[in-house]
Chain A
Amino acid sequence: MSRSLEKIGQQLVSAVVVLFGLYVVAKIYMAGQFIVALACLAVLASGVFVYTSSRAYSYRYLFPGLMATLVFVVFPIVYTFAISFTNYSSRNLLTLERATQYFLEQTYTVEGGQSYAFTLHRDGRAFRVRLEDEQGAVFVSPPLALYKGPIIIEAQVPAAGEAPLGEPVDTKTLISYLPNLKLVSFQLPNGHLLSVTGLRQYGAVSKLYKANADGSLTNQQDHSVLTPNKKTGFFETSSGEQLTPGYTTQVGWSQYTKIFSDVSFSEPFFRIFVWTVTFAGLTVLFAFSVGIVLAVLMEWEALRGRAFYQTMFFIPYTVPAFISILIFKGLFNQNTGEINQILEMLFGLHLSWFSTPFLAKSMLLIVNTWLGFPYMMVVSMGLIKAIPTDLYEASAIAGAGPLTNFFRITLPLIVKPIMPLLIASFAFNFNNVMLIMLLTGGRPDFLDTKVPAGSTDLLVSFTYRIAFEDSGANFGLAAAISTVLFLMVMVLSLINMRLTKVNAQEAR
C-alpha cells in the first residue's frame, strides 16, 4: 500500500516537474527566443526519455553532470565562436528587429500642431490624464498603471454624467512619473497622436519613420529612405551616413582577418603574444626551479624541523591570490611602497615598477613565482619520494656530491612525470588574467598602437580590455581573439594528454 502510494507520489512530482518545464519553454518561446526555447525543449525531452526508458538506465546517472557540462561549459564555448563571426559591440548591440522597432518609435513634433495642457490625477492606485487644448476642449484618459511602455492610449471626451477627476497631483509626483508618461502617447478621437513635450504639455506628434515592405524605413519629415546595411549593421541614408543604434549582424571572417592582416592590430597582437609566451614560460621555469630545490631540501633526512618549514613554504599558496597580489601592488608602489623605501635606504635606488616596461614585467614574474612555487614544491616532493633510495646510496659509494645527485639522478627522473603538470601550469599562466588585471592592468600602455594595449598585457587581458574596459566594448573582436586562444590551449591540452598517456603506459 505504502509502496504504491510512494509510486504515485513520485509520478506526481515528475508530472509537476515536466509541466513546469513545458511552462518555462512556452514562456521562452513567447519571449521570442525561438532557438533557446527549442534547446530547452530538447533538454526536457531527453530528460523525460532518460528517466522513463529502462534502456537508458546508466544515462540517469550521467544526465545531471552531462547536462550541466553542456549548459555551463560547452554552450559558452560554442557561443563564443558564434559571437566571433558577428560585429556584436556596444555600437551594434540590438537585434535587427529591436533596432527597427527603435526607429519606428521615434516621433517628431508636428509643426503648427496644437499643444495640450495636461494634468495628472490619482484614481485609486491608478492615474488618469486630463488634456485640454487651446480652445478649451477637454479629453480624459482611462485609468493608467504607468508601469512601463511604450503604449498608445485612446483619450476620450469625458461623458456627461461622469464623476469629475480629483485634484491634480503635486509637481514632485508629476516629475517622478514623467519618465513613465514619456512612454505613453494619446490618440485623440480625431486621430491626432500626442506625446509629452514639456512638464505640463502634450503636443501633437507624428511617427518619424514608416516601415517599408523591404525592411527599409521612410522618414516622414524629409522623405529620405533608410536602408539597413547587412554588412555594417547600421541603417544608412542614401549618402551612406550611419544612424545609431546599429544592430548585430553576421560579418563572416572579418574579425579574424582584422587580427591577422590589419597591421595596426596584428603588430601589437604579435608583440603581446611573444610576451604571453615569455611570461608563462619564465613563470613555470622560476617557480619550478625554486620549488624543486626546496623539495629536495624537504626530503633531506638530516634536516630537522622540516614539517614546520614545509608549512611556512606552503603559506603563499593558502592566502587567497587576489589578496596577496594586491599586497604586492601596494608594496611595489613607486612613491609610497615599502619595497622602494627599503631599496632607497640600502642602495639609494628608486625604481619605477609600474611605468618602466622591463621593471613591470620583472615585478609580474617575481610576484607570480612567489605565488606558484609552493605548488611546484609539493608536487616535486611527491615525485622525489618515488625515486628509489638505492640510487643515492650507489652514487654516495661512487663519491658523488649533492650537486651531482641533483643533476644526474633527481632532475632526470622527475622531468618526465612532472612534464604534464608543467604544461598545465604553462597553460594556466598563459591565461592568468587575474594577476595582470589586479597588479598592472596591462600597463604601461604602448604609445604607438591604435588599440589600447600594454606591455604587460597577456592575450587574455588584452581581450578583457577590448570587451569590458575599452569604451567600444567590441565583443565580436574579443570573441575572435578568444577563439584563437581556445585553439592554442587546445593544442597544449592535446600534447598534455598524449604525454600523460605515455607516462601512464611506461609506469605499467
Chain B
Amino acid sequence: MAVVLDKSHRWRVVLAHIAIIGFICLIMFPFLMIFSISIRPGNFATGSIIPQTISLEHWALAFGYSYQGPDGGLMEPQFPVLLWLWNSVKVALLSAFIGVVLSTTCAYAFARMQFMFKKSMMNGLLLIQMFPTVLALVAIYTIFDRIGSYVPWLGIESHGGLILAYTGGIAVHIWTIKGYFETIPVEIEEAAKVDGATAFQSFRYVILPMIVPILMVVFLLAFISGINEYPVASILLKSTDNLTLAVGVKNYLYPQKYLWGDFAAAAILSGLPITIVFLFAQKWMISGLTAGGVKG
C-alpha cells in the first residue's frame, strides 16, 4: 500500500503487538492453569498458582496405573479415561464413515442430475440441516428404547445406537459435497461418456477419485462433531465403561467427589490428541466451515 505513514504508525504497531500478546496470555490462561494443576499434588487447591512440588500422581492415574498416596494408601484410577477416548474415537470414526458413504451419491445427483421435486428436496434439505438434534432428544431416546427391546445392540447403552443417531448429520454433508461437485466442470463426464463409459462408470472411475479431498474434509468434520457431541450421548449411554469422553470426563467434577487434579491430567491426556488432529486439519476445517457450517 503506497500510503505515506505518519509517525504515530510505529507506535501503533508496537501497541498492537503488546495488546495481542496480552490477549493471547488471557485466552491461554485456562490451558496453562490446567497444566500446572495436573502436576500439582492433591485434588484441592493448595494456595499457590505455580506448583512448588511436582507430582505425577494424576498422570499415573490418567494412564490407568495405581499410585501410592502420601499417606501410603493405594490410589486407584477412578475412571477409565483411555477407554472413553477409544469409545469416542470408535463411534466418531464409524459414524463419520457411514455419513460420508450415504451422502456422496446423493450429493452427486443433486449437483448433476435432473429429476422430479429436485428444487423442493434441496430446499427441504437446507431447512433440515439447520435443525439442531437436541430438539429431537425425546424422540431419539424413545426410538432407541423401543428398538433396544428387540435388537439390544442398537438400543440404549449401545454404541451401535449412538452411531445411528449421529448419522442424522447427513443433510449437512450432502450440502457440502454438492458444493464441491459443482466446481468440477461437466466436460469431464461428457468426455468419459464419449469414451463409452456408462453414467455410473463415469461417476465411479472419473468423478469419485477427483472428489477425495472434499470427502476427507467432510469425514473430518463429521469425526470432530462426533467426538464433540454431548446431548445425545448423555441420554443414550449410562454405564461407566460405555461412556464417550464427552459424557465421561464431567464425572470428575461432581461436587460430592471433586477430583480437580485427576481431571486436569485426564483432560490433557484425552484432549491433546484431538486438539492436534483439529490443528492439523485447521485449513481444511476453515474451508468447510465457511462453506456452510452452522457451528458458532
B127 touches A464 (CB 8 A): no
Q: A65-B107, A468-B235 are in contact. Are A431 and B102 (CB under 8 A)?
A: no
Q: Is B16 an interface residue when CB atoms closer than 8 A count as contact?
A: yes
On chain A, the residues within 8 Å of B171 by CB distance are: 69, 73
In the complex, which range does the number of interface residues on chain B fall in? 35 or more
A318 interfacial by beta-carbon distance below 8 Å: yes
CA of A342 to CA of B165, assembled, Å: 43
Binds A, one of B182-190, B213-221, B224-232: B224-232
A482 within 8 A of B: yes
Nearest Cβ on chain B to A269's Cβ, whole angstroms = 16
Cβ A378 vs Cβ B289 within 8 A: yes
Interface bracket on A: 35 or more
Q: Bits for B129-148, please: 1 = Cβ < 8 Å to A, else 0.
A: 01111111111111100100
In whole angstroms, how far apart are the Cα atoms of A322 and B131 in the complex? Answer: 21
Residues of chain A contacted by B132 (CB below 8 angstroms):
427-428, 431, 460, 489
Q: A303-B13, A327-B267, A376-B296 are in contact. Are A489 and B230 (CB under 8 A)?
A: no
Bitwise, B221-259 to A at CB < 8 A (1) or not (0) is: 000000110110011000000000110011011000010
Q: In the complex, how many angstroms separate the beta carbon of A79 from the nearest chain B beta carbon?
A: 4
Q: Is A499 an interface residue (CB 8 A)?
A: no
Where chain B touches its partner, the secondary structure class is helix
In the complex, A341→B12 CA distance in Å? 34
Partner of A438, one of B123, B128, B230, B286: B230
A336 near B141: Cβ-Cβ < 8 Å: no
Within 8 A of A (CB), among B101-134: 101-103, 105-110, 113-115, 121, 123, 125-128, 130-134
> B271 an interface residue at 8 Å Cβ cutoff?
yes
Q: Is there contact, CB below 8 Å, between B45 and A76?
A: no
Chain B residues whose CB sits within 8 angstroms of the CB of A287 once the complex forms: 296
Instruction: Say if the beta carbon of A47 comes within 8 Å of chain B.
Output: no
Cα distance A6–B270 when bound, in Å? 48
* CA A379 to CA B9, docked complex, whole Å: 27
**A65 contacts B170, C-beta separation under 8 Å:** yes
Contact call B16/A338, Cβ cutoff below 8 A: no
Q: Is B79 an interface residue (CB 8 A)?
A: no
**Option from B138, B164, B245, B295 in Cβ contact (under 8 Å) with A322:** B245
Q: How far is the CA of A174 from the CA of B135 in the complex (A)?
A: 48
Contact among A303, A326, A425 for B250, CB-based, below 8 A: A326
3 closest Cβ contacts across the A-B interface?
A65-B106, A425-B296, A318-B278
Name B's A-contacting residues (CB within 8 A): 1-3, 9, 12-13, 16-17, 20, 23-24, 27-28, 30-31, 33-34, 37, 44-45, 47, 49, 101-103, 105-110, 113-115, 121, 123, 125-128, 130-143, 146, 150, 164-165, 167-168, 170-171, 174, 199, 203, 227-228, 230-231, 234-235, 245-246, 249-250, 252-253, 258, 260, 263-264, 267, 270-271, 274-275, 278-279, 282, 286, 289-290, 293-296
Interface residues of A (CB under 8 A from B): 27-28, 31, 33, 57-66, 68-69, 72-77, 79-80, 83, 88, 284, 287, 294, 297, 300-303, 309, 311-324, 326-331, 333, 336-338, 341-342, 370, 372, 375-376, 378-379, 382, 389, 392-393, 396-397, 402, 421, 424-425, 427-429, 431, 433-434, 437-438, 460, 463-464, 467-468, 475, 478-479, 482, 485-486, 489-490, 492-494, 496-497
Could you jot down 27 A-B contacts, CB within 8 Å? A59-B115, A61-B108, A61-B109, A62-B121, A65-B103, A72-B168, A301-B1, A302-B13, A309-B20, A318-B275, A320-B274, A322-B245, A322-B246, A326-B252, A327-B33, A337-B45, A338-B33, A375-B296, A376-B296, A425-B296, A428-B294, A437-B231, A460-B132, A464-B134, A475-B141, A478-B137, A497-B123
